[in-house]
A and B are shown apart, each in its own frame.
Chain A
Amino acid sequence: MNATARLQIGNFVLGAILLLLAILVVEETFSLSAPTQQATIGPAFFPLLIAVGLAVNAAALFWQALRGKVPEEQWLKHDIPPVLIVLAGLIVQMTLLTTAGWIVATTLLFATVAWAFGSRRVVLDLLIGFVLSAASFYIFNEVLGLSLPEGWILDT
């Protein structure tokens, strides 16, 4: 598949997303409970305006895609698996964050991302991730007064 075809599909997908969003916005807006305080223009006006904008924009993208009038940029080679690994790393961090704490979760995130970028020195990556997340935990919680989750490591 050549670059133009891929970009055509891409434009088409983007248009489809905008169209879906338009429908979603309209659907959600009509389910708004009527506001008690009547304003000149209610809370539904702008969402509907934006929904129209989304739909028009989607139409423009479909039209571009069908006529093959997409910008002639090079479509470069992309690997999908490493992208999925990074996304998985983020999910791991999210799920562990409140239980295992910032340091554990972020160390794992760091090592996973490093793995996705081709690093195979797992122990070193874990170590650097640990130092980085422990340092950020200390600086942000102790010095700047944020509250990153401690998790069970520091609880015990």
Chain B
Amino acid sequence: MMETLQSLLQGFSVSLDPMNLLWAAIGVTVGTAIGVLPGIGPSLTVALLLPVTTALEPTAAFIMFGGIYYGAMYGGSTTSILLNTPGESGAIVTAIDGHAMARKGRGAQALATAAIGSFVAGTIATLAMTFVAPAMVSFALLFGPAEYFGLMVLAFVTVTAVLGENLALGMASLMLGLTLGLVGIDNQTGAARLTFGIPELLDGIDVVIVAVGLFAIGEALYQVSRYRHEKEEIYALKGSLWMSREDWSRSWKPWLRGTAIGFPIGSLPAGGSEIPTFLSYVVEKRLAKKPEEFGHGAIEAVAGPEAANNASAAGVLTPLLALGLPTSATAAIMLAAFQQYGLQPGPLLFENDPQLVWGMIASLYIGNVFLLLLNLPMAGMWVKLLLVPKPWLYGGILAFATLGAYSLNNNIVDLVLLWIIGIGGLGMRLLNVPVAPCIVGLILGPMAEQHFRRALAISQGDLSVFYNPMTHPLAVSLLVIAIAFLVTPMLLRLRRA
């Protein structure tokens, strides 16, 4: 406890350094600006801005990244409220009543409750992360390769199956990601797998290429196929920009409840922001004095889910930093960013690089304050970004998407991959195949394989490390939970059918 506070204080001394403050400020501003653009969710924002950080040393880069991530979350809520185009699944719920409020001329209030709720939730959840992460680290010290393998299988299953609208489609996305993850040199034996003799593929397929291909190119192709059929209406902000007394009294409890729902779920390996936002919506509807307003612009239905969304965003960072386990598309891209610097998040990072970890955590607090200042008085300015006409918006998105992809390794092969994956992204979008499992599978697949093989190397080929509860209780229970998550929905469906 005291130790944690001390580390946090150290972190603040890092993040209050004027240069680092500047990076945090740039991060939140750019993150908000890009996140506001329709069709760009937090994960794409982080992926597109990856090249920006190549010139920075790691601490500054991750301070900026934290800001970009939080900023993109704020920016994304503006888009879903005013345009009804949620950039990521966590914002879908906000869009329902947020957009209804905008149609009624209460867009400013919706933005305000989203911004203040995000601030409250982000701050409390970052505080929670400050104390949960070190605890998770000390827990993780008990983990060997078999346990990490179990944890990763659990993450695969939960990312894919818990939402479970259609298991086969979610699994297809995961399998595609795992297959892409196979490409490249096997780093235990040096064998080249699935490289088809192309030297550029020896290093594997970068997660940034896949994320940008699926999100940016896939989305642009989808939008261009639809632009003649879709009319978007932006509702201008008018009247008082501030929340009334009634708005406040209807908002503060949902903020806190949303935080309480969002952080724990976000920090579990189940992760994600879909479940907490939906859960928060349901809870608020049940507790509301006027549940009939839900769906027609109830402020609680914006305040709660938006808080839950931001709290889960901080929650997702907990297993990412403490275990190196990404549980959302955005976290997977952040992990890729760590790997670009040769850093592996997890207990060792806390040990070896406390400056970086705690500096980043501390600047999340600061970033939240910046974001409140950026979003409340300047909401009108961000709204202007929504007015960028689609031809220029997508022209710009594709320019930056190709910039990001090309500058990873300065080769054209990455652009060709981007093109192919973009077409795949369009196909997935048309068939409602979720994208997150693919990205998580791509980055976690090779890690899971390594841990699996390391576990068997240690046990000298004895497979019982994965099923003997006496010798490996943790690994076995993680795998059992994973199987339960996978099988239970299937059984329920069979019984219903």
- Beta-carbon contacts of A2-33 to B below 8 Å, as 1s and 0s? 00000100110110001001001100110011
Q: Which residues of B contact A61 (CB under 8 A)?
A: 168-169, 172
Are B390 and A35 in contact, with the CB atoms below 8 A? no
Q: Which A residue sits closest to B217, measured CB to CB?
A: A90
Are B402 and A136 in contact, with the CB atoms below 8 A? no
Are B190 and A35 in contact, with the CB atoms below 8 A? yes
Interchain CA distance A9-B190 in the complex, whole Å: 40
Are B172 and A14 in contact, with the CB atoms below 8 A? yes
- Beta-carbon contacts of A67-94 to B below 8 Å, as 1s and 0s? 0000101011111101101110111011
Beyond A90-B398, A125-B395, whether A136 also contacts B403 by CB under 8 A is yes
Are A42 and B419 in contact, with the CB atoms below 8 A? no
Beyond A7-B431, A40-B461, whether A82 also contacts B224 by CB under 8 A is yes
B387 contacts the other chain (Cβ, under 8 Å)? no
| Shortest beta-carbon distance from A102 to chain B in Å | 8
Interface residues on A, range: 35 or more
| Shortest beta-carbon distance from B420 to chain A in Å | 10
Are B189 and A42 in contact, with the CB atoms below 8 A? yes
Are A114 and B412 in contact, with the CB atoms below 8 A? no
> Which of B224, B412, B456 contacts A86, CB < 8 Å?
B224
Question: Would you call the interface of chain B mostly helix, strand, loop, or mixed?
Answer: helix
Q: Which B residue sits closest to A111, measured CB to CB?
A: B395
Are B224 and A116 in contact, with the CB atoms below 8 A? yes
Are B51 and A140 in contact, with the CB atoms below 8 A? yes
Are B188 and A43 in contact, with the CB atoms below 8 A? yes
Q: Which residues of A contact B400 (CB under 8 A)?
A: 136
Task: Choose the segment among B108-116, B175-183, B247-255 that binds chain A (4+ C-beta atoms closer than 8 Å).
Answer: B175-183
Are B227 and A87 in contact, with the CB atoms below 8 A? no
B466 contacts the other chain (Cβ, under 8 Å)? no
Q: Which residues of A contact B228 (CB under 8 A)?
A: 79, 118
Q: Which residues of A contact B394 (CB under 8 A)?
A: 113-114, 117
Are B182 and A97 in contact, with the CB atoms below 8 A? no
| Shortest beta-carbon distance from B453 to chain A in Å | 5
Interchain CA distance A36-B452 in the complex, whole Å: 20
CB within 8 Å of A: which of B134-192? Answer: 165-169, 171-172, 175-176, 178-179, 182, 186, 188-192
Q: Which B residue sits closest to A47, measured CB to CB?
A: B182
Interchain CA distance A126-B390 in the complex, whole Å: 15
Q: Which residues of B contact A21 (CB under 8 A)?
A: 176, 179
Known A-B contacts: A78-B225, A113-B398, A140-B407. Give 20 more (CB < 8 A).
Answer: A28-B193, A36-B189, A40-B453, A43-B189, A43-B191, A80-B225, A86-B398, A87-B423, A89-B398, A90-B217, A94-B412, A102-B403, A110-B395, A115-B391, A116-B224, A117-B395, A125-B391, A125-B395, A129-B395, A146-B51
A contact set with B: CB distance below 8 Å? 7, 10-11, 13-14, 18, 21, 24-25, 28-29, 32-33, 35-37, 39-43, 45-47, 50, 53-54, 57, 60-61, 64, 71, 73, 75-80, 82-83, 85-87, 89-91, 93-94, 97-98, 102, 106, 109-111, 113-119, 125, 128-129, 132-133, 136, 140, 143-148
* 6 sample A-B contacts, Cβ–Cβ < 8 Å, listed by A number: A10-B430, A21-B176, A50-B445, A93-B402, A140-B51, A140-B407
